[in-house]
Amino acid sequence: MRSVAISLLLTLRSSLRNRAALQLEILALRHQLEVVERSRPRRVRLTDADRALWACLSRVWDDWRTAILIVRPETVRAWHRRGVRLFWTWKSRRRKGRPGVPADVRQLIRAMADANLLWGAPRIHVELLKLGIAVSQATVTKYMPRRQRPPSQTWRTFLTNHVHQIVAADFFVVPTATCRLLFVLVLLSHDRRRVVHTAVTAHPTAA
């Protein structure tokens, strides 16, 4: 008895599924006829509604490829992918991000930075927390005024300006003919490549 009931349920479900598939096929064929009649005598022209219909049919109907005649199945799949991208783009735009910082708080951050030139973002962040204003340190950094600083000189400019005060030092070991080791210190002035000091010893010390 149970097997008979299961068989009847399977037959009913198959009948309903076949009827739904038949209705979808009729809808697809009628729609294609309408598109062809609408496009005469020129070539077939599809609207966004036509593309959306076929994208939906490819989603809910397994045998939609057997009924499509006016375009290729690859084109319908491309429409479906485009619709998915548009849907998620629309959905992501509806999300509300982090609430913005009020204008009075932004103005307070700038005023505190201008009045206390030695205060950085960590100090201003702490002072705002004392006032009951809960903002992150990154937010404070974002809204602090950018002070114009003179550009720093390049390494070449630094060497040119201080070449008279720069001395190069080299400390190396020299083996002698009697298999001794001598430790040599040489100081060389950069401006004239002039040796300003030399020292040689066999027993170097910290002094």
Do the Cβ atoms of 71 and 102 come closer than 8 Å? no
Q: Are residues 108 and 172 located together in one domain of the fold?
A: no
Instruction: State the Cα–Cα distance between residues 44 and 37, nearest whole angstrom.
Output: 9
Q: Are residues 114 and 178 located together in one domain of the fold?
A: no
Q: Are residues 82 and 15 located together in one domain of the fold?
A: yes
Decide if pLDDT at 41 tops 90.
no
Highest mean pLDDT among 76-80, 94-98, 123-127, 152-156: 123-127
Give domain status of residue 86, yes or no. Answer: yes
Which residues are registered as beta bridge partners of 170? 186
Phi then psi for 199, rounded to 5 degrees? -150, 140
pLDDT of residue 10: 45
The total of structural domains in the chain comes to 3
Per-residue pLDDT tens digits for 14-39? 555 677 777 777 777 777 777 777 77
Q: Are residues 172 and 136 located together in one domain of the fold?
A: no
Do the Cβ atoms of 64 and 77 come closer than 8 Å? no
- Mean pLDDT score of the chain: 80
Q: Are residues 108 and 166 located together in one domain of the fold?
A: no
Do the Cβ atoms of 26 and 51 come closer than 8 Å? no
Which residues are registered as beta bridge partners of 186? 170, 198
Q: Are residues 160 and 116 located together in one domain of the fold?
A: no
Decide if pLDDT at 205 tops 60.
yes
Between vectors from CA 141 to CA 140 and to CA 147, what angle results, nearest 5°? Answer: 120
pLDDT of residue 153: 81
Per-residue pLDDT tens digits for 126-183? 999 999 998 889 999 999 988 777 777 888 888 888 888 889 899 999 998 888 899 9
SS3 state of residue 82: helix
| Identity of residue 179 | C
- Tell me the whole-structure pTM to 2 decimals: 0.35
The arithmetic mean of pLDDT across residues 78-105, rounded, is 78
Q: Are residues 89 and 8 located together in one domain of the fold?
A: yes
Packing angle between helix 103-115 and helix 121-130, nearest 10 degrees? 120
Give domain status of residue 137, yes or no. Answer: yes
Give domain status of residue 197, yes or no. Answer: yes
Which residues are registered as beta bridge partners of 200? 184
Q: Greatest CA span in the chain, whole angstroms?
A: 114
pLDDT of residue 48: 79
pLDDT of residue 98: 67
SS3 state of residue 11: helix
